[in-house]
Amino acid sequence: MRLSDFDYELPQELIAQRPLVERDGSRMMVLERRTKKIYEKKFTNIVEYLIEGDALILNDARVIPARLTGKKETGARVELFLLEAMGGGRYKVLARPSKRLKKDSRVIFDEGVTAEVLEDADFGKVVQFSAAADLGKKLRRIGKVPLPPYIKRDPEKADEERYQTVYARSDGATASPTAGLHFTKGLLSAIKDKGVNIAYITLDVSYGTFAPVLEEEIERHRMHKEYYKLPEETAEMINETKKRGNKIVAVGTTAARVLETGAPAGEGFTDLFIYPGYKFKAVDALLTNFHIPKSTLLMLVSAFAGRDFIMKAYRSAVEKNFRFFSYGDCMLII
């Protein structure tokens, strides 16, 4: 398939720059795969699409303050975006501006933290931070919420709460699993009260998930590996749900990728790339936000619902002024 098959026109004013006042106040576009119907509901109506015995799978990854601003010894401003902890105070990072940071360059931050560039990586750079003993605490103090680049403002205090899901608990993500941002604790309680089982996986969402596809033939694209964990109790719940004939509802493309990785319970790294032609083994329904043109996330939902059906839905979402991307509205594919 061609990269251009996943392009669409998006007016910039539809990219949500801030969350709604209420987490669960979003609009929800519903796509019925069998009937090819597309219609609108409120997000809180999601309870109506779940029945007793279904399993709702949530990604409990917690976003770390991964955006660091410092200065070179020359005084030039530099920003580092943490991608992956490599142990011993070493991190893989994205640097901006990248060309200014050569091997052995040092970046100076608050709290007495410095970072020395060790080498170029396959994606970004590898740096060595000082203060390795209490580095994690210091990075949390000097770092900022890693809002995606299409949000054209600096992070605010409110983002520290609203760019996290209410069930986030596993530190390590550098981007939010945004389909889960719509849930409140009250709504999750209502879902449980209906007899729906809620289980958790972890996928440390990183920039790799959102990295641009540079190959025109999308089959040539290679995903960057991301850490995941599939707990034993979640694996057991999935198996029991399938045996009963109930459905597995993945909240977000991140949860879908872990479930479709197909490994037994445990942890590891996944670079699974899902695009049209892929046959889903575990996921029966998918809650997801609206995705960037030409992105691997748009390719995944196109694999789940059909490319033509998804592109039709996206055109409708634009016409009806849905809010797009991380702080935007959502889509339920059933």
Asked if 117 and 257 sit in the same domain, the reply is no
Instruction: Please report, for the domain that includes residue 165, its CATH number.
Output: 3.40.1780.10
Asked, for residue 154, whether it belongs to a domain, the answer is: no
- Give yes or no: residues 168 and 241 share one domain: yes
Same domain, 93 and 230: no
Range of the domain at 116: 67-142
Examine the domain organization and report whether 170 and 137 are in the same domain. Answer: no
Q: What is the pLDDT along the chain (334 residues), one digit of tens a residue?
A: 999 999 999 999 999 999 999 999 999 999 999 999 999 999 999 999 999 999 999 999 999 999 999 999 889 999 999 988 888 889 989 888 877 788 999 999 998 899 999 998 877 899 999 976 688 888 889 999 999 889 999 899 999 999 999 999 998 899 999 999 999 999 999 999 999 999 999 999 987 667 789 899 999 998 888 899 999 999 999 999 999 999 999 999 999 999 999 767 899 999 999 999 999 999 999 999 999 999 999 999 999 999 999 999 999 999 999 999 999 999 999 9
Q: What confidence score (pLDDT) does residue 231 get?
A: 96
Q: Are residues 166 and 255 in the same domain?
A: yes
What is the pLDDT, as a whole number, of residue 140? 87
Same domain membership, residue 184 and residue 97: no
**Domain end position, chosen among 113, 142, 171:** 142
d(CA 159, CA 327): 10
Prior bond of 97 cis (ω within 30°): yes
Residues 205 and 241 in one domain: yes
CA dihedral 72, 78, 84, 90 (to 10 degrees): 0
Q: Distance of alpha carbon 145 from its chain centroid, rounded?
A: 14
Q: What is the pLDDT of residue 96?
A: 85
Residues 325 and 237 in one domain: yes
Burial class for 185, CB neighbours closer than 10 Å (0-12, 13-18, 19+) = exposed
Does residue 151 form part of some domain? no
178 assigned to some structural domain: yes
Q: What is the pLDDT of residue 264?
A: 79
- Domain count for the chain, please give it: 2
Same structural domain for residues 58 and 71? no
Q: In CATH, what number is assigned to the domain containing residue 74?
A: 2.40.10.240
Give domain status of residue 11, yes or no. Answer: yes
> Where does a domain end: 115, 142, 169?
142
Final residue before a domain boundary, out of 142, 169, 195 = 142
Rounded Cα–Cα distance for residues 289 and 178 (Å): 7
Instruction: Please tell me whether residues 57 and 112 are part of one structural domain.
Output: no
317, 211: one domain: yes
Query: Which DSSP category does 149 fall into?
Result: T
Is residue 149 in a domain? no
Q: Are residues 183 and 54 in the same domain?
A: yes
Q: How many CB atoms lie within 10 A of CB 221?
A: 17
Angle at 305 between CA 282 and CA 29, to 5 degrees: 110
pLDDT recorded at residue 132: 63
pLDDT score of 123: 77
